[in-house]
Structure 1
Amino acid sequence: MKHFIKLIAVTSIVAFLSGCTGHVYNNERNCSYDYFLHPDVSISKVIGGCGPVANHK
């Protein structure tokens, strides 16, 4: 039973983290960056590397 609980926990964590990644383009679509948990927490967004971004998709 212990192994089953560990398996469920690891699977849940991996599913959560993989669902929180993405790719964002700027308004001109000539620059993009990847983010891990949320686009506003990305280092590229913080330093303004791509300028204003389009809708998160």
Structure 2
Amino acid sequence: ALENLDGPNKLKSIYVKSIQAGVRSLCYIHVSVFRIYSLFFLTHWIATFFFGSPLRARDIKR
């Protein structure tokens, strides 16, 4: 269906599709980063709760 369109419309549809794909991948990256960050935060909190906080002590020293 795209082949019989004229140049500007074809270019515009490609542009729109690439923008949609970029936004989708950006959302996916954002979600996965948020998951990794929350997982790290949770494990860090559990480790702090049970074993004290070597990470925090190191941060204070720095």
Please, what TM-score do these two structures have when normalized by structure 1? 0.45
Higher helix share: 2
Which structure: larger Rg? 2
Which of 1 and 2 has higher RCO (CA within 8 Å, sep 6+)? 1
More strand by share: 1
In the superposition, the TM-score normalised over structure 2's length comes to: 0.41
